[in-house]
Amino acid sequence: MLKPATTDIEALKLLDERLRWLSAWTIHHANHIRDSDDGLKVGGHQASCASMTAIMAALYFHALGENDRVAVKPHGGPILHAIHYLLGSQSREALENFRGFGGAQSYPSRTKDKIPVDFSTGSVGLGVAITLFASLVQDYLTAHGWLEDKDRGRFVALIGDAELDEGNIYEAIIEGAKHDVRNLWWIIDYNRQSLDATSADRMFERFDEIFRSCGWRVVELRYGQRLQKALGENAWLKSWFEQLSNAELSALHYQGGAAWRKRIEGELGKKAAAFLEAHDDEALAKLLTDLGGHCMGTLVRAFDDADDDVPTLFIAWTIKGFGLPFAGHKDNHAGLMNPTQLAALRDAMGVREGHEWEPLEGVGDNARTGVDALLDRTRVAREKRARAFGSVAITPIPAPADDEQSTQAAFGRILLDLSKAGGDLADRIVTTSPDVTVSTNLGAWVNQRGLFRRTDMPDIFAQSKIVSAQKWSGGNKGQHIELGIAESNLFLMLAAAGLSGDLFGTRLFPIGTLYDPFIARGLDSLNYACYQDARFLLVATPSGITLGPEGGAHQSINPPLIALGQPGLRHYEPAYADELAAMIEEAFRLIDHPAGESTYLRLSTRNIRQVERADDSWREDALAGGYWLREPVPGSEAAIVAMGAVMPEALAAWEELRGDVPGLGLLAVTSPDLLHRGWTAAQAARWQGQRKPSHVEQLLSRLSPTAGLVTLADAAPASLSWLGGVLGQRVAPLGVETFGQTGNLADLYSAYRLDGAAITEAVAEVLLQNG
Ligand SMILES: Cc1ncc(C[n+]2csc(CCOP(=O)(O)OP(=O)(O)O)c2C)c(N)n1
Ligand SMILES: [Mg+2]
């Protein structure tokens, strides 16, 4: 293999220094130099950056190929900005405005940063794991003929060592082992410090074992070349050095050469005399801080050697705050250099005062050519890639015709029909589920389209002629990615597949299914997917106490409230199959539209009689969040407002009460989320002189201003009770506020007040209050 020339190593070292300086300076500028009018601390993580500049220099200016994608640990964000600054793809203005409005973001952000960011990071652990799912998506696209070999790359995660405490990492590598993932480099900045202090010693070798048992190669970069040599020549020093705890090591790194000397003298006495004699304090400190993650030669060699596709974990030993005055100090996580310390660093790095922003300040004339050559050669994308939208024709989705059906069954039917009809859209759908494929009604789709596996997986039961409704064979043309039960993985899978247009230029239509209550298990990953504007369809079913005999552990209550507060995710909750078909069609459109978003469908297993429709006039309103299923008489004093699976109770109550309550209306809410957004957007627009009322205002203004609304949902009542705030109408909210339990529907609806009697009482209550 071609080894890089020595001059490259020297140039890389200079770039490492530039990154250390520019990241420290960017943070310093934001905290100490930029005007602050609100008195808020700006913050930033100089120590976390200094820890990883050598790793990132070696990676970006040497090892990365043009198709490689990187998730940078959140607190290393300023280094990524510095890299793009050196490459000419980040502006000084954005750096001067680091952590300011419109400036470079604190943590790398795909959507908000102007430089190309492959994966957003921030919530530790998630940026690591998404690279694994992105690699799986790459294999999926290749297998399906959408990605040529020359466009394939490697997925790199730059990881803080404390991130290894996040369980989602292990869930991901277990899933990855099942799918034989490859082309992954996970590089740990092993500075043995977290946010609060130094990290525990004992887990270290265990991490190693865990990764190896999941099929990873583990490469430990403990020592730099000089220290390696010194320890090789002095076995006594090596054994002494290696028994130091994380805390002891960090403290010594902080205290410096004299402290090392005293400690070694005290503990090793005569044995160490000659060695100590040969090193003054400065040389001693320099030698003993020569850890693998700071040694360019070690890093370059390790990256060059890992030239196959085996998933590889690099454990690069580093010192948090390397080269800064608080290096190794346990409290340095959010530490900021004061102006005097910064000035000392500036002088030490050969940066002239007033020239701090000059990209190659401090690099001597002789070295410039080498550095420039490396910058020119760097194959990292320098421009933000255009997002790939609008490439797929969304065909109409017909609704299944049965007189009685559940939304969950209708979902399965719609996918089956799509699969049989074929076409571009159907071919681009990729489904995924954490071990609830069959019980969420994806089974028929999987029978048609098969499981995705890079190598063929026969259906042993079918081959053995054992009768089963479910085919379970896999191959590289399969369109269902079966996951183990780990909901966080589901959302990371959806995030990666939902970014396939951005990462690979080919849009997929990812559909993930899970039980509604278990959204909560993967919530941060779901938020993470939305934060990056990944596009997918999430189908959560079954939901609510309508699940009956399954009991309280499976009956979801609050997901509509979660959805109400979740940007980037549109909640739809259909009652009928034709609404569902319209919503799925809309969800596909939103996946492939630049201004779109992801969709969350909350479905149910309850079989309900479908309504007769005179025409399609309900459709547009249903997609906007709600429609009058039974029109009120204008100025009516009351309406029932219901959502989803409890619609039969609402309809029955409406039938029963319409004689006594003239003009009573029945509003079917299909998306509290959309209604609420429309309402607040209309208010904001009014301030700008636009007068158009929102959809919910239009719907509710059909009633009297003093009308009473009885809201009904198999969910937390707050999902709908806010509707009273729109026009100031009175509300009697019905819904589920305590944990569910087993029972039949009649018993449960009665106990939780979702039945006709409860609706009648509530209508009486709001009418009485009016009188
Ligand atoms: C899910 C989550 N929990 C907590 C935090 C707050 N936090 C930010 S960094 C950090 C620890 C950083 O340690 P490490 O990963 O070792 O990074 P280093 O700065 O040492 O490189 C914590 C707890 C977070 N960002 N995300
Ligand atoms: Mg750390």
Element spanning 543, H or E: none
CA of 47 to the centre of ligand 2 (A): 10
Distance CA 210, CA 199 (A): 18
Taking the centre of ligand 2 as the mean of its atom positions, its distance from the CA of residue 160, in whole angstroms, is 5
Whether ligand 1 lies within 6 angstroms of the CB of 321 is answered as: no
Ligand nearest to the CA of 321: 1
Closest CA relative to residue 624, chosen from 593, 659, 665, 579? 579
158 φ, ψ to 5°? -100, 120
Q: 74 CA distance to ligand 1 centroid (A)?
A: 8
User: Is the minimum distance from the CB of 161 to ligand 1 under 6 angstroms?
Assistant: yes
At residue 6, the pLDDT reads: 66
- Ligand that comes closest to the CA of residue 159: 1
Closest alpha carbon to 697 in 721, 725, 673, 716: 725
Give the pLDDT confidence of 506-558 residue by residue, as tens digits: 999 999 999 999 999 999 999 999 999 999 999 999 999 999 999 999 999 99
Put residue 320 in one of left, alpha, beta given phi > 0 → left and psi -120 to 50 → alpha.
beta
What is the predicted pLDDT for the residue at 771?
A: 58
Helix (H/G/I), strand (E/B), else coil: 415: helix
Q: Is the CB of 200 under 6 A from ligand 1?
A: no
Chain centroid, CA 151 distance in Å: 24
DSSP state letters, 643-669? EGGGHHHHHHHHHHHTTTSTT-EEEEE
Strand ranges for 307-376 from DSSP E: 312-317
Cβ-based neighbours of 680, under 8 Å, separated by 6 or more: none
Q: For 139-171, what is each residue's pLDDT tens digit?
A: 999 999 999 999 999 999 999 999 999 999 999
Which strands sit side by side in the sheet containing 429-434, from one edge to the other?
474-475, 451-452, 480-483, 429-434, 509-514, 537-540, 598-602, 569-572
Q: Could you tell me the strand order of the sheet in which 636-643 lies?
A: 626-630, 665-669, 636-643, 703-713, 730-734
Q: Alpha helix locations (H) across 357-469?
A: 365-377, 407-421, 424-428, 443-449, 460-463
Specify the pTM. Answer: 0.97
Contact between 730 and 706 under an 8 Å Cβ cutoff? The reply is yes
Task: Give the position, in ligand 1's atom list, of the atom nearest the Cα of 191.
Answer: 20
Give me the residues of the chain with pLDDT under 70, please. Answer: 1-7, 770-771
Q: By the 8 A CB rule, do 363 and 14 touch?
A: yes
For residue 278 and ligand 1, the question of a CB distance below 6 A is answered with no
- What one-letter code names the amino acid at 507? R
For residue 16, what pLDDT is reported?
98
Measured from the alpha carbon of residue 122, the closest ligand is 1
Ligand 1 within 6 A of CB of 191:
yes
The residue to mutate among 107, 124, 164, having the most atoms of ligand 1 within 8 angstroms of its beta carbon, is: 124
Helix (H, G, I), strand (E, B) or coil at 171: helix
Cα separation, 452 vs 433, whole angstroms: 12
Closest approach atom of ligand 1 to CA 524: 1
Pocket test for ligand 1, best of 45, 49, 187, 194 (most atoms within 8 A of CB): 194
Model pLDDT, residue 206: 85
Token pair 């090193």 in the structure block, residue: 279
Which of ligand 1's atoms lies nearest the C-alpha of 333?
19
**Which pLDDT score, from 0 to 100, does residue 4 have?**
57
Alpha helices (runs of H) in 180-280, residue ranges in sequence order: 204-213, 225-233, 235-242, 246-255, 257-268, 273-277
Q: How many CA atoms lie within 13 A of 298 on its CB side?
A: 24
Q: How far is the CA of 292 from the centre of ligand 2 (A)?
A: 15
Grouping H, G, I as helix, E, B as strand and the rest as coil, residue 652 is helix
Nearest 5 degrees, angle CA 605-CA 608-CA 610?
A: 130
Which atom of ligand 1 is closest in space to residue 124's alpha carbon?
26
Ligand 1, atom 25: nearest CA belongs to which residue? 123
Q: How far is the CA of 556 from the centre of ligand 1 (A)?
A: 31
Q: Is 571 in the pocket of ligand 1 (CB under 6 A)?
A: no
Q: Which residue has the tokens 């940007």?
A: 567
CA gap 259, 280 in Å, rounded: 12
Residue with token string 């539209």: 593
Place of tokens 């992105």: 134
194 in contact with ligand 1, CB cutoff 6 A = yes
Q: How far is the CA of 298 from the centre of ligand 1 (A)?
A: 26
Q: Residue 479 in contact with residue 448, Cβ under 8 Å?
A: no
Find the angle CA(647)-CA(650)-CA(651) to the nearest 5 degrees. 85
Cα separation, 77 vs 64, in Å, equals: 18
Please answer whether residues 540 and 602 qualify as being in contact, where contact means their C-beta atoms are separated by less than 8 angstroms: yes
Q: Is 440 in the pocket of ligand 1 (CB under 6 A)?
A: no
Q: Which uninterrupted H or E stretch holds 510?
A: strand 509-514
**Closest approach atom of ligand 1 to CA 199:** 16
Ligand nearest to the CA of 76: 1
Q: Going by CA atoms, what residue is nearest to atom 17 of ligand 1?
A: 160
Q: What is the structure's pLDDT at 1?
A: 41
Residue closest via CA to ligand 1's atom 10 equals: 195
Contact between residue 559 and residue 519 where contact means Cβ atoms under 8 Å apart: yes
Contact yes or no for 538/583 (Cβ under 8 A): no
Six token digits for residue 86 = 């050196």
Cis peptide before 542 (omega within 30 of 0): yes
Ligand that lies nearest to the alpha carbon of residue 75, given by its number in the listed order: 1
